[in-house]
Chains A and B, each alone.
Chain A
Amino acid sequence: METFFARYRNLVVLAAILLAQIAGLAVQVRHNRSGRNTLDTSDPSGVRLIRLWGNAIVSPPEQLIHWSKIAMESAWTDYLDLRHVRDQNQHLEKTVERLRLEQAALLEDARQGQRLQAMLGFQEKYIYSTVAAQVYGSSGSDRSHVFYIDKGSADGLKPDMAVIAANGIVGKVRDVFPHTAQVLAVNDPTSGAGVILETTRIRGILKGDAEGRMEVVGIMADERIKPGEKVLTAGGDLVFPRGLPVGVVEKVVRDPDRDAFIDILVNPAAHLDRLDEVLVITSMQPRFSPEEQQDIAVSATQEGQVPTAIKDQMKAAEIMAEKLPGLVDPNLPADQQPLNDSSNPNPATAPPQPLHPDAFSPPGAATTATPATDSGQAPNPQTTSPAVPAAAQGKGGKSQTAKSPQPHSAPRRNR
């Protein structure tokens, strides 16, 4: 036995190390319900420990190199390469003065716009809390499109936070260490983001391919999709806010696996290969300055005052409607109808009765009609209207007078 190990110790060591790594791999893979193997995104504690060690050993010298490069670049640009700086400085001072004036004017517009948009419920489109970070390293492999930033859990970063650059989205935080974090780029094959085409409003899922290109997959063939159309985040993936630029459509190709579907190659808006500074969206809750909060409170108060004013106006209209004479109120008994109310200072006038009734005259109108007096005065409704004598004399005419003017009076009462 001793001879066997002595003779084959190289192979035995090789086999032992390989077996240990295969066993380690086995605990990182899960068998999902669809029958496919997937990598366990939540690293077991042992795996996380290895990642932590790897990061702790490689990150400090990597950051040292990165900061040395930046220091050398800034030393060159700030101290050595200073030709024509005086002229540029004078020119820039004038520009600053002009921009200050423009800024003052724009600030008011911006505040108003922000206030209105906040009230209109577009808050999800705005990013209210971000942490700026420097990119200092990568995974070192084009099979794994991840990069490292110099901010970590100590700065409030958590997994699955969106990472953006000035031009567009970049990725999401995958693994967080105390002072650094690993970001999974959007062009990695394992990443995914919900996107929407700006013009055609077609939705899809953005992912990367083996060459690090971005593509939108799972889209039905559509001739409206043309190169150059903007691609934006759809906001449904709970990572990226809605409406952030992703890139532009570069090319539309057939899905090699499914005939009716197409893949859209996307030219990224952010330079994913040359990232220096990024922003991590730490919160999407609105966070306004005290001044902005005051503005919003004032606007909210004004908004509340509008319905109050409308209510007051409506109440006044109702009061007026009650005071205005109506001909018939269905809620009142017959003897208290406005036409019969002698206490009303402005009694309603019944429609004038024709002197010579014909087939188009209201029924029974001519029976009691009385011509106007020669003096030109308007006839007294209590004497000229058939309703009044009928009401005063008996029940016979009451029903007729109550019915005939009703179509004219109803709109007035309902006002």
Chain B
Amino acid sequence: MIKTMWMKLLDILYRCKNWIAGLFQPLRLEKELEIEMQHHLAFSKEHYEREGMSSNAAKKAALKGFGNVESLKEDCRDSWGTRVINDFIRDCRYSARMLRNSKGFSFAVVITLALCIGANITIFSALYHLVLRQLPFEEPENLVRIHYVNKETASKKLNPGNFLDGASYSQYQDYKAETDLFENISLHYYLFRVVDSSQLKGVCATASFFDVMRVEPILGRFYTEEEMYPSTAPVVVLSETLWRTKYASDPDIIGKSFQFLNKPPLTIIGVAPQSLETLDRNIRFFTPYHYRLIEHERIPDSAFWARLKPGVSPNTVSERLLAIETHWNEEKADTQSKKMFERDQRRFRMNLSHPFENQLLMLQFGAFLVLLIGCVNVTNLLLGRAKKRQFELSIRHSCGASSVALGRMMFCESMILAFLGAIIGTVFSWVGLFSINNYLTSLDATTTAANLNATVFVWISVTATVISFLMGLIPLALLWKSGSIQKIDNSSRASSFGKGAKTFSNGLVVLQVAMTCALLIGAGLLFRSLTKVSEVDPGFDPSGVLQARIKLREVYEDRTKWVGVRNRILEVMREIPGVESVSFRYGTGDVFTKYTYSRYFAIRGVPLEPGEVGVRVHIKWIDGTFFETMGIPLLHGRTFFLGGDEPGRFIVDETFVEKYLPGKDPLVTELDRRSSLGGGRNDWGRIVGVVGRANLEGQDRPDGLPIVYQNLDNNEPLWGFLLTIRTTRSLDSITPEMQSKLKEIHPQLHLYDPMFLDEAYHDLNLERRGITWLVGLFAVLAVLLSAVGIYGVLSFSVEQRRREIGIRSAIGASRREILSMILVQGLVKTGSGLVVGIIASFYLTRFLESQLFNVSTLDLGTYLSAPVMILLISLLASYLPARKAVKIDPHEALRAE
């Protein structure tokens, strides 16, 4: 038994060894075979001669006794096992020569494939990098980020870090106790601090944060639970990037001091690995979450990172946490919190998904469609070519090439084309990724660049191989089925291609057109949205408006100084030449905020709906020159007085008047600010002015809420404000001057993120524009490919029907009749494709809905114009072969076989 196994093993080993040896010395085996066979024949011949035959007779007898030399040689070669490879190499050489001979065809195929594959690689790499790739932590599938959403924010797709709601330490403690759900949980929020006059973003987290992520420090250690108490010495952990860039990877960094502006110095106790920066690319430091005396205080924008116990689903966690909250509110909360809880309907949301997921998936779909269309084209081209070579193939078959051998030959050809296409496509995608990276990083500062990586290459090779198979073998299979290879048929052009092949080819074209139609409609809808968005009147004049942040808190600890400094700053800014108007407003975020501050007001004399607390509006705090600086027109009344106005004065916009005061005189209306819980201070104020509607939240997010403006200038100390300037000068010319004026007031005053509003306004659309243009590009590609496809199929058909067309024209068909015959053929194919495409679009555009603005998914204009465009182009594509058909000389056609 063992002996048998042993012998089997040896058998295999010997065969492998000899096979490999054969690969390296193919000629030796051949030579030896030739020698020994020749020897055998000579020996045999001599044997027969000795028996008395003549030399010639002996030779013949020897050969007869031996058998068919070549055939026997083939059998020997079979046993060597190298035959496959040798044949393959030979096929490849032959294919390469054939392809070189038909340069036009090869070029068309390679370029088509390169474009399609390139597009797919680019999008897929981005998708993989941003969405599919795992977080670089252990068991990332168990990591979740838990945050609150309330009624207002729940429906919006907000980036992490854009929530008003936060969590409290006592919640953290409660959740920590749920040990059957969480292996570990931590609480954190992001903060910005100035270090050596540059602003850094960092994480303030509980000590358990590092345990949740299961990371080890590169240097030193992480902070502990004890260090979360304010009495301990303040410490900080640096991120790897900060350590590398600012401290040049100094190995002795531990123990050195790190200081935020105007805060006591911190001791550096460790350096965190770079993997933590995948959570947010801008993280530079980690500080302990300080235990708060007020445990229930919610820090805005805080959230939990948790590692779930394996097998625990997010839904379970969500329900449990909600139950805890509800219970707490019923048992322990005061009435105020209770009401807030009910009002806000806080829920939990957990995700790790990336904000661009949907868009990228959509783009991937589009790119895939283009790839399919390209493949269809190429297959049709190859089909035509195979038909041309039918004669050659049938000769080969009769000489002994099996279907396998023929298949191998066709596969070789298509493999060379596919791999060439894949290589060039990779080059294209490298370029494509380069531009996408620029676009991505300007969209979302937290992402890192996407790169081509090994997985992608593997996928490309697999795809290319699969494509080669399909492209090479389908035409062959069709020809084989039609039987035209099995018989040598010189008049092969006259015979039908085989019904199967023809239907297949036509079906492919119809599919192509359908996909193109769907893509084009999608692109059309997106473009219309883009146009609609840019048509939105912002309501103010963003060009020439410069905005920058100024933070007083970090420079002046004494609050009483803030008002004076602020006024001084405004004064010196006004002195700068080229500045037309200066104002300030509250807020340290962008002008175009992604989240909303909405409040409720009661209007004197306007009854409220039952159950309503008041009318809902946006509030903005500004000074008197705001409208002038922003270019918002003043319609009635006046703006706020500079340097202070009477308390209780409001300015509203025209939407407010239209909605709530139709037919009334706004300037005598009184308003009272109401809290969302229904109570008010009964502090009625008066409207003193009405201004035009300004889209300060961005063009595509109008929620129809009116804006009420309140005066900031009433000597209220603000720890920071947004400086807004109208100027004719450029950013580069005015910013240094502004900075130096600030420095004259105090050397540590700094102007943060100065930028022109029109750039920011324009950038709001960046995402939308990028996607629209990409889909548009795909659509154009698809249209071109489809046109080529129709042209190819029709001209092939004309070739095939040469004889028939010749006969037709000989018996009297006019040029026009022949022309229209071919054109109709093309139109029928296109038409059926369009019908399928339009129907498909009804369903598919549903997925686009989130991207559209003021355009319905069934927008008639797009659904009409896209097919018409395709129809025109396919007419053109059909016209060329039709012309060729017309030019067929009946005499020649009938003569040529």
Partners in one complex: no
Q: Interface of A with B (CB < 8 Å)?
A: none
Q: Interface of B with A (CB < 8 Å)?
A: none
